[in-house]
Structure formats: C-alpha cells, structure tokens
Structure 1
Amino acid sequence: MANQRFRKRKLMPVILRFLCTSFLVAAPMAAQAQDICSIRLDDDRVVPTVDLKVQPWETGDFDPSVPEGTVISLKYTQASGIGGYIQCKKKMGTTLYTVSTSSQSDGYGTFKTSIAGVGIRIRGGINAENWWPQSRYDERTNYFLAPAQEFVVELVKTGPITAGGYISGLIGESRYVDLQHTYRRIYMEGRGIVVEPRVPTCKLNTPLVPVSLDSISASDLMDNGKGPWKDFSLSLACAGGDTGTSTRMFVVFSDAQNPANRSTTLSLSEDSVAKNVGIEIQRENEELVSFGPESGEVNQWMVGEFGNEPVNIKLKARYTWTSLVQKPTPGSANADATFVISYK
C-alpha cells in the first residue's frame, strides 16, 4: 500500500446536555388516564391537557465562581395560554404542582437541569410563596380553570459550573395524583433559558488535521494484524473565562463513510483501492476510540477540565486488518473521520 493518507476534518463545535431529558416525563401517566378528565377551553376546543408557553430569556453573563446557593437568575414570567372548564369523572383529590426538568433534587429547593451546577426552582399558582412541589386536596369534580398566571423562576448555583447551555422544553406541570392525570404543562419556547457563565471557550488551532500513515505491505499487515502507530494531535486554545474558572471538554469521533459505525475501526473512504483494511485511533490512555454519532453522548469521552490555557489532545492512528478470511488487497487506503468537541 503506497501513498496512503488518513484525513480528519472538524465539524463546528456543538454544545451538548441543554437537552431536556424530561420532555415526556409525564406522558405515560397522561396516556393511561387521559380520558378521566377533559377540558373545554374558552375557544371551545376540548383537550385533556392545557399547554402553557413561557417566553425565552437570557441570564446574561455571570461569574460561575459565586458561592453555592447564589441565585444566578430570577424571572417573574407571565405564561401564555387560555383558560377553560375542567370536568373529571371522579373527584380530583390531590393536586400537585411540580418542576419537570428532572425528578432529582439539586439542593436549595431546586431540581436538576441539563446544565451541571445549575438548579431550577419555580413557585406560583397554589401556595404562591413556596417553591414547588406544592399540593392541595380537592373534593370537586369540576371547576373553571384560570388562564395562564405569573410564575417565578429562579436558577441557583448548586455545584461547579463549567459550561453554559439551554434549559428548554417542559419545565413544570400540574396533575391530579389520585387520577394519574396531568392537566397542565408549562413549556419554555424557543431556546428556553440561555445560561451564560463566564467560563473559558476553546477554539481549534487547525480545523483540518491530516494524518499520513506510513506505508505497509499487505503481507506484513496479515502477519501482524496491525500497522505501526502514527502520532497526531488536536490542538486548541482556551480563553475568555474568569480567573479560576474552567470548562470540561468532551469529544466524539464519527465515521464519515459509515455514520452508523459504533465499532473501533474506521471505514475506508470510497476513493480507496485497498480492501479488508480499516483504521484504528488510540487515546493517550491507550484505549481505542469507538465511533459515535455527531450529536448525543454515545461513545463520547471526556478529555479533561481546562482553564484559560492551550490544550493538546494526543492521539495515534494505525492500519488494521479487518478480516481473518479475506486477504488485504494493496492500494491506497484513505479514511475520513469527523470529530465534535463539546463542553459541559
């Protein structure tokens, strides 16, 4: 195999975990009992659940090194949504107002969000001066449901904050616990709450990283199963954070030829002549890189936590024989991998 090349190109960095994994937390309950209650809205539509919308906002930049328990954003927000008349087949019983970003408490009366170190708490509606969850008992089977009300939303520092992000989607809900029926949900519109701590941001020094592997004969590859390692690295510069702050860096590699590839062997590109050959990438800890999707956390790994400093991600690459039955055939053996660097 002569004139082999191993090319690597970069995607734009993407910030991952502003997902809101709680979008459908209440859906199973609602699906089981959605016909136990119905709501005739003021515009005469009949629905099982009222969806309220909250306009997005930004926290503005803030010092992430403030003490835990500090409120980093306070918002008196008016949700949008009409009222109606709710009718249930049984008495409503216990009504519960809850935060829906997570079922896990994050301290200081908050619940976890998609951003590590940032908890959320909400109050409004029943027991309006107290943070959710709040409950009451109701013997009624029907009543007039008021239009959207004002809610108070606070974001609180609950631990180290090493990245910003978005809190979007479902943030709260009201449900009849005994009837297993969610009758109201509160959603953030658009990007949701944009959280902007002053932590370092990192930039690749070289967007395209070519790696030229040494030539190896087909017979040597059959004898050893692997080619020799070739060192390469990803170089970044991190800056812009407040003194003493840091960000956690993660990376995932994807197979450009076969995006569904989740193995440790990178596929050859279509312009390659060689057959039954692939490429492996090794991390500095000698663990092989498993390929993953360009978005999400599958086969993503943490590089480290860095302040305002240069970062060098050391890697190695080599040829590997991909079949124990069919011989490797000589020729050019090229491959393309993409990588996405994200921060949490």
Structure 2
Amino acid sequence: MTPPPAIVFDPGVPDGTVLWRGDLRTNFRGSGAYACPVGYFAMGYKGTTRYLGDNLYETEVPGVAYRFKMSGTPPSIPCLADKYFPDGCISTFPAGFYNHTLHVELIKTGPITAGGVLTGKFAYWYGGQGSNVIGDYASYTWSGGGVVVQPILPTCKVSTSSIAVPLKDVSAHIFTGIGKTSSGQSFNITLLCSGGTTGPDTNIYVTLTDQTDPGNFSDTLRLTNDSTASGIGIQVLFGTTVIKYGPDSSAAGNKNQWKAGSYGQGTFHIPLTARYIQTAPAVKGGTANGRATFTMSYQ
C-alpha cells in the first residue's frame, strides 16, 4: 500500500473518530494464482499487531488504531463481503483468485501526545484445507518508508538555555560518611509551549548529561576539572527522585531519559533540586562546581 506523504490531523477530536482512510486495490488474478480445486477452504483475516477489540488493532502510535474492511467481486465469496477484521469464512476458491479492495482506517482510541511512522506488514490472510495450513495466504504491507502520522500538537522551546544554580557555601564538617548530602537548592527549567489545538498535550522528556564525564551514567555529577574540593559530587532531584545522567540525545528511550510531565499551551516549569553528596571517606574543602546539559525530547 502506497502511503500519503503524511497523515496530519487534530488530536483533540473525540475517541472513535476516523483520522484517515485509504483504499488498497489488489491484483491477484493471473496464471499461478492460488486456488482450492476440490471442496471448501477455511480462510481468516486479521491484523498483525495486538488486537484491541471492537475490530481495532494497535499501531506504533499510542492513541491511534487500525481498522480494516474488505470489498470486492464477486459478492458470492463471503470473505469479500464488507467484513471488518478479524473474521473468516469457509468457501470455495476457484482458480484465478479474485481482486478485492482493502479499506484501511486509522481510528483515535485515546490521548495522542506524539506522532510516529507506520511501517511494514500490517494485515494478512491465513487458512487451510484439512491438514494443509497456509499461515500467510496474502499480506498487506506499507511500501517505502511507511506512512508518517503527524498530529497537530503544541511545540515547546526552552525559555533560558543556560541556568546557574548557586549551591552556596557548605561546611566540609557536615560530610560525615559516604552518601551524606547537603541541603538542596531549588531551580527550574522553564519551557514556553504554543501551537497545536486547544486541549491536546505533548509528553516532555529530559536527559541530563555530565559535561565533565559524558560517559557517566550514575546519579552523581562529577566535579569540574578546575574544582579544588574533592570527595563530593552533585546530585539533581526531580521531586524525591535522584536523576541519573545519560547520553546527550533527544531520541525516544535514550538511556536515563525521564518524563517531566505533559503540557499543552503556555509556560511549563520543571522543578529540580541540586545538592552535594559525599562520594569518598574523606572530603577536602575548596571550590566544588559541576556542569551538566539538559536535552529535551517531545514525544
């Protein structure tokens, strides 16, 4: 099935709305076509992804489902008689299998916070006669790179790209053992979100990266090389959760990426707290600075 360049839609419509529909005209007839020469043939058809009930199959995009129905000639073949998948029938199939049209629909089933791409095989026929089972009699596949599903959602940008967090002076004497922490200093990452339609939100994810040691995937930020203190590091918390550091990437599922929330239009604050933590048995006083980047990912 050749997809359109993109399927663009308002994700704020009610659940059950058809977001897009398209038709695939098959071309099965010709020499060498499958046939059932004697008796009857049991045939079924369904989608390849998880079945959600009510004739719906999940897609790669949360909140969007497939629905399939066939039509064609001759109407005497029950499998071609306007039935939604999944279904099946028992019938005769003469040589030269008849053409039919597959109607593909995308249905809204829940909140849609991001788009995606539908690729590969999405539905098929299966069946058999007696012990002769055909697991994939005919299949339907997106051609090329698939179809882009593009909901009209708000987009966000960072209000301040560089944030200084003064941790203030801390007495070395408070660090009495590994894991001991100082009091925290609050700060925010602020986003300005706009566009899209009123109602739908976009999911906001963040990855913090240790700029002194980009391969550090622990929950403790290393001190910068020009720091003179030792035996301590810096932690960043989102609520009560200590954030682990990850690679500088906005890809979905990036290592140690975390969800900051969902938001629509307006100003969105991500509240964070920074604090020192003791990392060695002995702490040496001095300057103790850390540097991290934050990478946003809207999913």
Structure-2-length-normalised TM-score: 0.72
Deviation at 1:58, TM superposition (A): 1.7
Instruction: Give the aligned CA root-mean-square deviation in angstroms.
Output: 4.1
Q: Which residue of 2 aligns with 1:59?
A: 7
Quick check: 1:207 aligned with 2:161?
Answer: yes
Partner of 1:129, secondary structure, is: strand
Amino acid at match of 1:239: S
**Per the alignment, in what secondary structure is the counterpart of residue 191 of structure 2?**
strand
Q: Kindly state the Cα deviation for residue 154 of structure 1 after the two structures are TM-superposed.
A: 0.7
Gap regions ≥5 residues in structure 2:
72-78
Q: Distance in 2 between matches of 1:268 and 1:190?
A: 48
Corresponding residue of 1:123: 69
Residue correspondence of structure 1 range 269-288 to structure 2 within 5 A:
275-283=230-238, 285-288=239-242
Matched residue, 2:19: 72
The residue that corresponds to 2:206 in the other structure is: 252
Q: 2:261 corresponds to which letter in structure 1? A: G
| CA–CA separation in structure 2 for the residues paired with 1:78 and 1:213 | 66
Deviation of 1:316 after TM superposition, in Å, equals: 1.0
In structure 2, relative to structure 1, the CA distance for the partners of 1:139 and 1:319 (3 Å cut) is: farther
Could you report, residue by residue, the CA deviation over 1:160-193 in whole angstroms, capped at 9, with x for unpaired residues? 3343333334422334588484455443345533
Where in structure 1 are there 5+ consecutive unaligned residues? 1-52
Contact preservation (8 Å) 2:221, 2:290: no
Identity of aligned residues (%): 27
Does residue 154 of the first structure (1) align with residue 154 of the second (2)? no
Identify which range, 188-197 or 310-319, moves more after superposition. Answer: 188-197
Q: Distance in 2 between matches of 1:185 and 1:292?
A: 41
Larger-Rg structure: 2
- SS of aligned partner of 1:235: strand
Aligned to 1:266: 221
Q: Does 1:307 align with 2:267?
A: no
Give 1:172's aligned residue.
Answer: 123
Corresponding residue SS for 1:237 = strand
2:190 corresponds in structure 1 to 235
Structure 1 residues 235 and 166, CA, compared in 2 at 3 Å: closer, same or farther?
same
For 1:163, the equivalent position in structure 2 comes to 114
User: Counterpart of 1:336?
Assistant: 292
Normalised by the size of structure 1, how large is the TM-score? 0.64
Query: How far did residue 286 of structure 1 move?
Result: 2.4
Q: How many residues align?
A: 278
Q: Is the 8 A contact 2:28 2:96 kept in 1?
A: no
C-alpha offsets along residues 123-166 of structure 1, whole Å, 9 cap, x if unaligned? Answer: 348436222223345899xx87899x753211112223343333
